Amino acid sequence: MKRSLEKGEMVLKKVSQRALMWFKSDLRVTDNPALRNASLYGEVIALYIISPQEWKSHDVAPIKVDFILRNLKKLRESLNELNIPLVVKQINHVKETPNLILNHCKEWNINAVFINKEYEVDESKRDLKVQKTLEENGFLFDITHDQCVVPPGRVLTKDGKPYSVFTPFKKAWIKILLAENSLIQVIPLPEPNIDQSLIIHQEKNEIPEKVEGFDISKKYDADYVRGLWAAGKEAAHKKLEQFSKFKILDYKKNRDAPALDGTSVISPFLAIGALGIRECLNEALIANKGLLDSGNEGAVTWISELCWREFYRHVLFHYPRVCMYQPFKLETKNIKWRDDPEGFEKWCKGETGYPIVDAGMRQLNKTGWMHNRSRMIAAMFLTKDLLIDWRKGEKYFMENLIDGDFASNNGGWQWSASTGTDSQPYFRVFNPLLQSQKNDPDGVFIKKWVPELKGLNKKQIHCPKDCLGASEFKKLNYPLPLVDHDMARKRAIDAFKNLKTDEEPKSAY
């Protein structure tokens, strides 16, 4: 197909034409450009492919797979209200994808296949192969931008180069949005199928309760985590609306305190596409009286976070090496990371002896989610205090996060490890004690996730080893600090100093 249908373009739906909507990380009916386009083209059959080998190779967390399966059931209900069937198939290997789709196109008399674009390297290659196979066999293939408000490739410097630093990227992003209001508009709902009999295609097609290799009951209390993470359109929109109604205006004030429920917690929905990014931005604009970059500072800060998400997607689009285990800053390739399996295991378990680090890691291990401030503290601790390779932490996060998202996770890890897009001219090392005192002053968050420290006062809670006598500390049954922060900080600075860089790294908190 030469071009995508423009938003809002009037096309007479042709009942004689059939479209296949291939769902991937866009599990929603609302604000879904490919689904809308498919429905304008003809009668739609929807397909989702369960691909365990591909998921394993990308470290997709069992808790995320469980969330996907539960959302698929809800998605099927929403699609069925539009007379659109959703067929779920499973393959053994990603290389089977083109033929599976081709065979279904033939079997179901499909004329055109519609997808929303995924930007990661493996996903792009997979989709290119599907496109080639389909086009060689005479089918149309239509790819639409969806995941970002401003499509990757559009936010460029005056010289036509991509931005590698967030603040100027954001400025340019806002400028584009102010000039092109249509980018912000939520995509209209798909047209319903006229032919109600198409639903027959999903008969006897069960959406599985679980997928082998991704069993959540091994690690979690399944009822507890499913209760935490309700699936579906209603749950997603409720979360977004509650946030914009009650919390967004105070977001700037509350966002860094992991003990407060001050952020939206919509990331699990965004990661699987159960919420559209334009829906989120519009919700913020409503709360901020239509303003993008002025007005209430809470709303403006939240819009900025949506822009961070967008920035990291643009980064991987322009610098695909970040998808291939490479650092964004090439000179940091030569860092001598420490080999410390024991330290890594303690970090994973939340047994570092630094309460603020352990609280975050235990929250992750118990719920599949972690507050942004805790992610930064935990990532900084692994890469700076333990000097362990950021790729190990990145993988552990992906394997455990319900909102695991390659671009944001890679971006967050590389930022924390100082191998990424951090614009600071100095070498950033968080002091876990200061972070703890500042962001969890009363120790409420720590007490929730590290219950052995429950009885400590708000001075002791941040550094029990230094604030208690030896016998009192022993009674807590809490681990000794894995490293001395001051020593570790110097060690990290040295490791970065010896690299061939233009600038000598300086340290700051």
Ligand X SMILES: Cc1cc2nc3c(=O)[nH]c(=O)nc-3n(C[C@H](O)[C@H](O)[C@H](O)COP(=O)(O)OP(=O)(O)OC[C@H]3O[C@@H](n4cnc5c(N)ncnc54)[C@H](O)[C@@H]3O)c2cc1C
Residues that bind ligand X (CB under 6 A): 255, 263-267, 270-271, 305-306, 308-309, 312, 371-372, 375-376, 379, 397, 401, 403-405, 408-409, 411-413, 416
**Are the C-beta atoms of residues 307 and 155 closer than 8 Å to each other?**
no
**Are the C-beta atoms of residues 82 and 29 closer than 8 Å to each other?**
yes
Is 39 part of any known ligand binding site?
Answer: no
Rounded to a whole number of angstroms, the minimum distance from the CB of residue 407 to ligand X is 8
Containing 298, the helix (H) or strand (E) segment is helix 297-318
Q: Is 413 a catalytic residue?
A: yes
Contacts of 41 (CB under 8 A, 6+ apart): 5, 11, 13, 14, 17, 19, 111, 112, 114, 142
CB-based closest residue to ligand X: 412
Cα distance between residue 70 and residue 282, in whole Å: 26
Cα distance between residue 3 and residue 258, in whole Å: 45
**Alpha-carbon 282 to chain mean position:** 19
Residue 195 Cα distances to 16, 43, 44, angstroms: 10, 7, 9
Q: Is 372 a catalytic residue?
A: yes
Cα distance between residue 466 and residue 417, in whole Å: 27
Q: The tokens 């996770």 sit on which residue?
A: 409
Catalytic residue among 83, 297, 337, 399: 337
Is 403 part of any known ligand binding site?
Answer: yes
Is 311 part of any known ligand binding site?
Answer: yes
Is 155 part of any known ligand binding site?
Answer: no
Query: Which neighbouring-strand residues pair with 142?
Result: 114
Tokens encoding 410? 């890679």
Residue 282 Cα distances to 143, 240, 394, 416, 498, angstroms: 24, 11, 31, 30, 47
Is 305 part of any known ligand binding site?
Answer: yes
Rounded to a whole number of angstroms, the minimum distance from the CB of residue 303 to ligand X is 9
From 492, 507, 500, 506, select the one nearest 388 (Cα to Cα).
492
**Are the C-beta atoms of residues 453 and 443 closer than 8 Å to each other?**
yes
DSSP 156: B
Cα-based angle 1, 270, 371 (whole degrees, multiple of 5): 155
Q: Which is nearer to ligand X, 130 or 322 (CB)?
A: 322
DSSP 162: B
Tokens encoding 236? 């997603």
Q: Which is nearer to ligand X, 391 or 489 (CB)?
A: 391
Rounded to a whole number of angstroms, the minimum distance from the CB of residue 404 to ligand X is 5
Q: Which is nearer to ligand X, 105 or 248 (CB)?
A: 248
Catalytic residue among 390, 410, 415, 449: 390
Is 396 part of any known ligand binding site?
Answer: no
Straight-line distance from the first to the last Cα atom of the chain, in angstroms, rounded to the nearest whole number: 52
Rounded to a whole number of angstroms, the minimum distance from the CB of residue 364 to ligand X is 10
Is 302 part of any known ligand binding site?
Answer: yes
Rounded to a whole number of angstroms, the minimum distance from the CB of residue 70 to ligand X is 18
Rounded to a whole number of angstroms, the minimum distance from the CB of residue 187 to ligand X is 18
Catalytic residue among 173, 229, 308, 347: 308
Q: Which is nearer to ligand X, 243 or 478 (CB)?
A: 243
Q: Is 347 a catalytic residue?
A: no
Q: Which is nearer to ligand X, 264 or 367 (CB)?
A: 264
Catalytic residue among 96, 297, 305, 452: 305
Rounded to a whole number of angstroms, the minimum distance from the CB of residue 360 to ligand X is 10
Is 307 part of any known ligand binding site?
Answer: yes
Is 309 part of any known ligand binding site?
Answer: yes
Q: Which is nearer to ligand X, 367 or 408 (CB)?
A: 408
**Are the C-beta atoms of residues 502 and 479 closer than 8 Å to each other?**
no
Q: Is 108 a catalytic residue?
A: no
Rounded to a whole number of angstroms, the minimum distance from the CB of residue 396 to ligand X is 10
**Are the C-beta atoms of residues 66 and 104 closer than 8 Å to each other?**
no
Q: Which is nearer to ligand X, 101 or 386 (CB)?
A: 386
Is 265 part of any known ligand binding site?
Answer: yes
Cα distance between residue 178 and residue 69, in whole Å: 38
Q: Which is nearer to ligand X, 343 or 368 (CB)?
A: 368
Q: The tokens 């980064």 sit on which residue?
A: 315
Binding residues: 251, 263-267, 302, 305-312, 403-405
Binding residues for FAD: 251, 263-267, 302, 305-312, 403-405
Catalytic residues: 305, 308, 337, 372, 390, 413
